[in-house]
Structure 1
């Protein structure tokens, strides 16, 4: 393994226990943290987060998923477009002017 190859995660996905976890990115300061993602359930986490987010044995049971849960999950809805920001009194903020 070269210095540019990210380390292989030592444990499976905390949420679904799948063994294939991909390295997404690393911290700007090398070695401080890595962002990992499960290829099955798409859960992402940073390695510097607490054990309840990074280790299967500490992950909250009520949020764990099985392959059956994932297969039966409804399609994730698209993120809707952003609404225009509203200032005080319900006015829309458009640049430096306000419009009701």
Structure 2
């Protein structure tokens, strides 16, 4: 059973960054907490299954090397709407 509430944001399971933040809590006290990684923008709730919140349970294909994020593909601009 996952921990339902984080008192301190855990390290990011995707890129291992330690500067994660708690960004939301459930409106029902103690139901869940949501964390955000400011490096890779991964977000997760404390109630997610292990494969989404524990690095050792995650597929290695989902890992991100934080040093390579800058070299990632840039998203193209969205063109203006035609009128």
- Same fold per superposition (TM over 0.5): yes
Q: Give the whole-Å Cα distance in 2 for the aligned partners of 1:79 and 1:50.
A: 35
Q: TM-score, normalised by structure 2?
A: 0.77
Matched, 1:30 2:29: yes
Structural RMSD (CA)? 2.0
Q: Which runs of 5+ in 1 are unaligned?
A: 1-5, 81-100
State the Cα distance separating 1:29 from its structure 2 match: 0.7
Kept in 2: contact 1:12–1:56 (CA 8 A): no
Using the alignment, how far apart are the partners of 1:22 and 1:77 within structure 2?
28
SS, match of residue 24 in structure 2: strand
- Report the TM-score, using the length of structure 1 for normalisation: 0.65
Structure 1: which 4+ aligned runs deviate by more than 3 Å?
Answer: 76-80
Tell me the distance in 2 between the aligned counterparts of 1:48 and 1:79. Answer: 35
Secondary structure at the residue paired with 1:45? strand
* CA radius of gyration, larger in: 1
**Greater RCO, 1 or 2 (C-alpha within 8 Å, sep 6+):** 2
The secondary structure found in structure 1 opposite 2:61 is helix
Q: Does 2:28 correspond to 1:7?
A: no
Query: How far, CA to CA, are the matches of 2:51 and 2:78 in structure 1?
Result: 27
